[in-house]
Amino acid sequence: MTDTAQTARTAIVTGAARGIGAAIARRLAEDGYAVAVLDLDAGACAETVATITDAGGRAIAVGANVADATAVAAAVAQVAEELGAPTILINNAGIIRDNLLFKMTEEDWDAVLTVHLRGAFLMSREVQKHQVEAGWGRIVNLSSTSALGNRGQANYAAAKAGMQGLTKTLAIELGRYGVTANAIAPGFIVTDMTRSTAERVGVGFDEFIEATAKTIPVGRAGYPSDIAAAASFFCSEGAGFVSGQVLYVAGGPRA
Q: How far is the CB of 18 from ligand NAP (least distance, A)?
A: 5
**Of residues 59-78, which lie at the interface with ligand NAP (CB under 6 A)?**
65-67
Q: Indicate which single residue of 18, 97, 118, 220 sits in contact with ligand NAP (rule: CB under 6 A).
A: 18
Contact 127, 86 (CB under 8 A): yes
The catalytic residue among 33, 156, 177, 223 is 156
Closest CA to 249 of 231, 226, 232: 226
Helix (H) or strand (E) holding 226: helix 224-235
Q: Indicate which single residue of 9, 11, 12, 19 sits in contact with ligand NAP (rule: CB under 6 A).
A: 19
Q: How far is the CB of 100 from ligand NAP (least distance, A)?
A: 19
Minimal CB distance to ligand NAP: which residue? 19
H helices, E strands: number in the chain: 10, 7
156 flagged as catalytic:
yes
| CA 232 – CA 11 distance, rounded (Å) | 11
Query: Each residue of 153-171: b (16+ CB within 10 Å) or e?
Result: bbbbbbbbbbbbebbbebb
| CA 59 – CA 117 distance, rounded (Å) | 26
Closest CA to 91 of 62, 68, 124: 124
Piece in contact with ligand NAP (CB under 6 A), picked from 27-35, 97-105, 132-140, 182-190: 182-190
Position 164 contacts ligand NAP (CB under 6 A): no
Q: How far is the CB of 241 from ligand NAP (least distance, A)?
A: 25
| CA 110 – CA 159 distance, rounded (Å) | 10
Piece in contact with ligand NAP (CB under 6 A), picked from 9-17, 130-138, 173-181, 202-210: 9-17
Binding site residues, ligand NAP, CB under 6 A? 14-15, 17-21, 39-41, 65-67, 92-95, 115, 119, 142, 144, 186, 188-189, 191-194
Task: Please give the positions annotated as active site.
Answer: 156
